[in-house]
Structure 1
Amino acid sequence: MSGYVMSGRDDRNSSARIAVVGFSCRVAGARGPEEFWQLLKEGRSGVGEFPAARRTGREAGLSDLPGGYLEGVDRFDADFFEVSPAEAAAMDPQQRLALELGWEAVENAGTSPDALRGTRVGVFVGAINDDYAALLHRGGPDAVTRHSLTGTQRSFIANRISYGLGLRGPSVVVDTGQSSSLVAVHLGVQSLLRGESDAVLAGGVNLILSEHSTNSLKRFEALSPDGRCYTFDARANGYARGEGGGFVLLKPLDQAVADGDRVLAVIEGTAVNNDGGGDGLTVPSATAQRDLLLDACAAAGISPADVQCVELHGTGTKVGDPLEAAAVGQALGTARPDGKPVVVGSVKTNIGHLEAAAGIAGLLKVISCVSHREFVPSLNHETGNPRIPLAEWNLKVQSEHETWQGENGRLVAGVSSFGLGGTNCHVIVTDPPSVRRDGHAAGAPAEPMAPGRALPWLVSARGEAALREQAERLDTYASRHPEADVHAVGRTLAAGRARFEHRAVVVGEDGAGLRAGLQALATGGGAAHLVRG
């Protein structure tokens, strides 16, 4: 597409800046980006008791602690992804979740997954746990089938996405411990900057399928007995485990602008290092973390004094939290003027510690805050940890939902993720530059539809039931967003979605007319201006 120009807000080469053009997520209490934002904005927690349906057959004596658990991890629409029932049964549910989230991230970007087939799109996935393989081998040699190898090797979590979507860029699973998914983003960014990939899907997944992985962490004394993350709070006593995952679809900023993509946020720079020694293999290094933050700022071409908030690794541990606070304070907080502290928080207080997917969860929180220009509360912070002198380090734990004013018209945030073995990653994120199209500011309301002019909304699915569900979801979206540009929705439905066998189109002159057709389709009824085929 043409007709786009960027404002000259800064002089940095846009080819060195990476645009986030779409994302997906599934975490405790939220099945997608919109529900995730509502969870964050309302300051709700998705942490709860271990699902009763999963207790059957589990070994006695291994307690199931509260955490951020997903529902229905055993369910998968194999037909949709053209996977045989036997192969689907052998697939690690982390593979299934990654495949679903990869598809959803592409659709969230307003792109049909079919349009990416055969292109140089890279896939970088953080994953660390092999619970499903452990459960399989518990059944002995006879439990192994011809699909077990591809179903349980972690490399296939990325390879399955590349195969299913026909993507020909790099396809890599990353394991750096709890920093895996943010390191996956870092590697994806580097692949784009080298010209190795034209676009990248990057993220991570984490599911808790065996009681033994929880027991190992419990014996390591990493887990909170009451299943809460008390980040920077005096009650810090370990972390709550969490399930879920997320992906971002990334492009070079100049290419995203040229393609007319909606840019949610910009990744300005990334950095990775390791603690490289210290008081113990699993003891964090404040010095290494400080250097990491400074390296990320240098890679982004941003002064440490300009970073306004940091999404912490923030597990809520007695040792880790004070060291991280010192690192953020030394690198960023003390560089800022008095009265303008670095705002800090942790999404782990909402959804638990997603381990391999923790970094992508933090990044998605920041992307959401940047795109809405709002801060959201970090939970479970009542009394400050006496070992964290917030005022001295010029830090402030964000406890309320409020507008993010920015500085000099710009929002700048950092995201941290640290692996238990000392591999650390930090990403610098800013709001996108203002983009104009044909003389109108991006995001400006479209001109009203001419009276009497019909507009089609196309819907398709693999089956009739799925078609009705698509209509219901679209109607729900339209009801929640009456201000939505019906033209833009129509364009996305026509050009930004895969086309399946079961199809329908609703035609209307305004949102009300279009919704009437969607409601009829969702209930299996008939209506004027509704056509099925």
Structure 2
Amino acid sequence: MTTDVPGSPAQAPADSGEDLRNRLTDLAPVAQHSVLLDLLKRQISQVAEPDVGGHIGAHAPWRRLGVYRHLAQRLRDGLAEATGVRLPATVLFDYPTPDTLAEYLRGELLGSGAAREGTSGPTAAGAAYGGGHADAADDPVVVVGMGCRLPGGVDSPEALWRLVAEGRDAIGGLPDDRGWDLDGLYDADPEQHGTAYTRCGGFLEGVGDFDPGFFGIGPREALALDPQQRLMLEVSWEAMERAGIDPQALRGSNTGVFTGVSLQDYGPAWHEAPQEAQGQMLTGNALGVVAGRIAYTYGFEGPALTIDTQCSSSLVALHVAAQSLRSGECGLALAGGVTVMSTPGMLLEFSRKRGLAPDGRCKAFSADADGTGWAEGAGVILLERLSDARRAGRRVLAVLRATGTNQDGASNGLTAPNGPSQQRLIRRTLETARLTPADVDAVEAHGTGTALGDPIEAGALISAYGQDRPEDRPLYLGSLKSNIGHTQAEAGVAGEIKMVMALHHELLPRTLHVSAPSPHVDWSAGRVELLREPVLWPRTGRPRRASVSAFGVSGTNAHVIVEEPPGAAAVAVETPLPLVVSARAEAPLREQAGRLATHLADHPDIALLDAGSTLAARARFEHRAVFFTADRDEAVQTLRAMAEGAPVPNVTRGSVSPQVLDGKLAVMFTGQGGQRPGMGRRLYATHPVLARALDESKCLSGTSRCRITLRMGRSQASRTGVITSSLSRRRVRNPVRDRIWTMAGP
């Protein structure tokens, strides 16, 4: 059975307002939206700059489509004439993509209620992620996705876990790709102006690498874009994909963004910027734009806050995100932080304060602690209410049992930590969680390796957590900074990711560089034990829990209690499953296949079903490959062959047109009844849903009729193979657009 739908002309005549309204009235909401979108694309092609190319993306912003400010009036006038709708001067700012403007026009032409009816596309899909449950006090906030970039080549939570589990030190030399005068920068004398007395730190590799086109950013704007914004765009995408969410499906949702940032040292002073960067420095360089950049790029409409409390920024962001979810302000929340030292300014500043370790290493709670070691990083955690996560079938990585913040107040100096304030925060957070100190097994401490800060923090932990504990369950104390250095505004979220991974692997990693516990701490005053060696952390009859602390030189403290999630039974898979890989070009497709092969080989605990499900939920790009397998070894071998560019017989690969990405594809599932002559005609006559869908197709393509035929004789129709190949050919020649219709015989 096929649908004979002649193609519509390339340039349809302009519709009058009344004719267009009448035409739309007889269509379903999805078809109405499609007709208006096609009209919009015709109008755009008439006014846009010639460098836009052949395809007009439905979700691309106007500037990317070549519709700049001087052309906006022409587009608005053309649309007003074609639709009969009086459009405000700000319409292209209020509705920044063809997709959103088409929906606005639908509401204006058919009444305000029409725009609220069920349309398709990312905007409608994103609405499913909104909501929140302000009245659900017992519905905890949970972690459903994570992403990170950290020193030592760490590019994922799994890579971070390998680093800490193996006890590796990620501290290295100063970066040589940022234009720093490395010879003139170092001087062993802390008093020497304009120098630093360390040559080491925890720096990110390839921090200048960025693909602006992937995020729809032009070359001029990319030049002015702070690497901190670039990293947060990338890591946010990864956190969403790792949660099994296509980031594009969240467009229009009330997803929130909460980002901790403190450094602002990229590029020259704005008034000294080169000509090609002027006009871009405000949005590319200002701290307050970081969260807004993420929300703008992905189309989120929930709260977007950039938070700066210095070294506690990312953990404060996590706290605010959790509060926003609990109040119902947002349905999903991206919380995290980022630090990139574009200049050596922080090294110089802390050299004058004599706060740096000469070897760049944080010796947390150690007798030979001699200062902090500065580092860089980016980390993002995706949060959701537990009920929403379960409803969506997402894997819950951990539960945020409670979060809290407070301020040191009038302590002994603005930057000096205050032990009693830290104790008050811990006790208040425990009270919020309805827990006792003995219910928490470990603390990921701030632990910067300074001679003053560490003893104050350790004393507060011993007082708040170390009392009234069972003899066999001390509070274990560790610090990620001993591995990677102090990542400043990002530090808190990095510690949170580490502890979520520790819950999963049932192990508390050791803290490096501890020659002996600090003599400035009375370790006998409570049951607190420094993690000088790894400690097994197996599941028991009660939930395992850990706390994470972060303290800023601003005096703002943050504390988070994280809890293991409920266990889930593994599902055995015996039938072949599809593994889907996609990318914007052929080379990245091969690279992704290679990374996936390595990941599956290194993580035998990951079920093939989970891998296939996660890949299927990711964003689909132009270049794609898919194969079916029920065997892990076969999957790894196939992916490695793809990465090497070798021909693989069982892999279907190719590229799709931009029109397909916009939804202009139909798939006809004919079933085994397709070989019965006349079956399609009878289905059309007896099944109203099928009849309406097929009738819609003629309107979608601009035809005046819909003719259902079976173009073969009875002898041919009795053979399934003939029918199948015939249907496949006709699907290619005559696609029915914008819908997937299922047609099956009895």
TM-score by length of 2: 0.66
- Give runs of aligned pairs for residues 204-353 of structure 1, distance below 5 A: 204-353=337-486
2:580 partner amino acid: L
Establish whether residue 458 from structure 1 lines up as the match of residue 592 from structure 2.
no
Match of 1:65 among 199, 203, 224: 199
- Give runs of aligned pairs for residues 424-463 of structure 1, distance below 5 A: 424-434=557-567, 442-444=568-570, 446-450=571-575, 454-463=576-585
Match of 1:35 among 143, 156, 159: 159
Establish whether residue 508 from structure 1 lines up as the match of residue 633 from structure 2.
no
Deviates more, 1:399-408 or 1:502-511: 399-408
Partner of 1:166: 299
Q: Secondary structure at the match of 2:486?
A: coil
Partner of 1:24: 147
Deviates more, 1:415-424 or 1:337-346: 337-346
Cα distance, 1:267–1:483 mapped onto 2, change above 3 Å: closer
Match of 1:114 among 232, 238, 248: 248
Partner of 2:728: none
Cα distance, 1:256–1:15 mapped onto 2, change above 3 Å: farther
Deviations 1:465-484 (A, max 9, x none): 10000111111122223453
Cα distance, 1:365–1:14 mapped onto 2, change above 3 Å: farther
Decide whether the 8 Å contact of 1:333 with 1:341 is kept in 2: yes
Deviation at 1:508, TM superposition (A): 2.8
2:409 partner amino acid: G
Partner of 1:103: 237
**Partners in 2 of 1:183 and 1:59 — Cα distance?**
38
Deviation at 1:278, TM superposition (A): 2.1
**Partners in 1 of 2:511 and 2:247 — Cα distance?**
35
Establish whether residue 471 from structure 1 lines up as the match of residue 593 from structure 2.
yes
Partner of 2:610: 488
Decide whether the 8 Å contact of 2:151 with 2:484 is kept in 1: yes
Equivalenced residue count is 508
Decide whether the 8 Å contact of 1:369 with 1:375 is kept in 2: yes
Deviations 1:509-529 (A, max 9, x none): 422333333223211121111
Partner of 1:201: 334
Deviations 1:327-359 (A, max 9, x none): 111111013133432100100001100110011
Deviations 1:263-309 (A, max 9, x none): 11100111110011121111111000000000111111111221111
Cα distance, 1:484–1:322 mapped onto 2, change above 3 Å: closer
Deviates more, 1:396-405 or 1:409-418: 396-405
Decide whether the 8 Å contact of 1:137 with 1:143 is kept in 2: no
Deviation at 1:154, TM superposition (A): 0.9
Deviation at 1:160, TM superposition (A): 1.3
**Partners in 2 of 1:455 and 1:270 — Cα distance?**
40
Cα distance, 1:498–1:306 mapped onto 2, change above 3 Å: same
- Give the fraction of aligned pairs with identical amino acids, expressed as a percent: 42
Structure of greater Rg: 2
Q: What value does the CA root-mean-square deviation take over the aligned residues?
A: 1.8
Q: Which runs of 5+ in 2 are unaligned?
A: 1-135, 186-194, 655-746
Deviations 1:442-474 (A, max 9, x none): 242x22414xxx432111001111000011111
Cα distance, 1:423–1:487 mapped onto 2, change above 3 Å: same
**Partners in 1 of 2:461 and 2:496 — Cα distance?**
17
Decide whether the 8 Å contact of 1:273 with 1:292 is kept in 2: yes
Cα distance, 1:223–1:57 mapped onto 2, change above 3 Å: closer
**Partners in 1 of 2:338 and 2:398 — Cα distance?**
22
Deviation at 1:409, TM superposition (A): 2.5
Partner of 1:439: none
Q: Secondary structure at the match of 2:215?
A: coil
2:145 partner amino acid: G
Deviation at 1:141, TM superposition (A): 6.6
2:589 partner amino acid: L
Q: Secondary structure at the match of 1:132?
A: coil
Deviation at 1:144, TM superposition (A): 4.5
Partner of 1:521: 642
1:34 partner amino acid: E
Establish whether residue 89 from structure 1 lines up as the match of residue 223 from structure 2.
yes
Q: Which runs of 4+ in 1 moved over 6 A?
A: none
Deviations 1:295-326 (A, max 9, x none): 11111111122111111111111111111111
Deviates more, 1:92-101 or 1:329-338: 329-338
**Partners in 2 of 1:418 and 1:215 — Cα distance?**
21
Cα distance, 1:391–1:383 mapped onto 2, change above 3 Å: same
Deviations 1:239-285 (A, max 9, x none): 00011110100011122122211111100111110011121111111
Deviations 1:401-439 (A, max 9, x none): 2320366432111110001121000001110123xxxxx
Deviations 1:36-72 (A, max 9, x none): 0100111111111112333555693423531111110
**Partners in 2 of 1:321 and 1:154 — Cα distance?**
29
Q: Secondary structure at the match of 1:80?
A: helix
**Partners in 1 of 2:610 and 2:413 — Cα distance?**
54
Structure number with the higher strand fraction is 1
Deviations 1:16-44 (A, max 9, x none): 41110110111001111111010011111
**Partners in 2 of 1:485 and 1:418 — Cα distance?**
39
Match of 1:499 among 620, 626, 629: 620
**Partners in 2 of 1:288 and 1:227 — Cα distance?**
29
Decide whether the 8 Å contact of 1:309 with 1:344 is kept in 2: yes
Cα distance, 1:273–1:483 mapped onto 2, change above 3 Å: closer
1:85 partner amino acid: P
**Partners in 1 of 2:555 and 2:540 — Cα distance?**
33
1:262 partner amino acid: R
**Partners in 1 of 2:638 and 2:139 — Cα distance?**
45
Decide whether the 8 Å contact of 2:313 with 2:489 is kept in 1: yes
Deviates more, 1:348-357 or 1:515-524: 515-524
**Partners in 1 of 2:605 and 2:463 — Cα distance?**
44
**Partners in 2 of 1:376 and 1:300 — Cα distance?**
25
Q: Secondary structure at the match of 1:20?
A: strand
Decide whether the 8 Å contact of 2:361 with 2:373 is kept in 1: yes
Deviation at 1:172, TM superposition (A): 0.6
Q: Which has the higher contact order (CA 8 A, sep 6+)?
A: 1
- Give runs of aligned pairs for residues 136-215 of structure 1, distance below 5 A: 136-137=269-270, 139=272, 142=275, 144-215=277-348
**Partners in 1 of 2:416 and 2:577 — Cα distance?**
60
Decide whether the 8 Å contact of 1:14 with 1:253 is kept in 2: no
2:144 partner amino acid: V
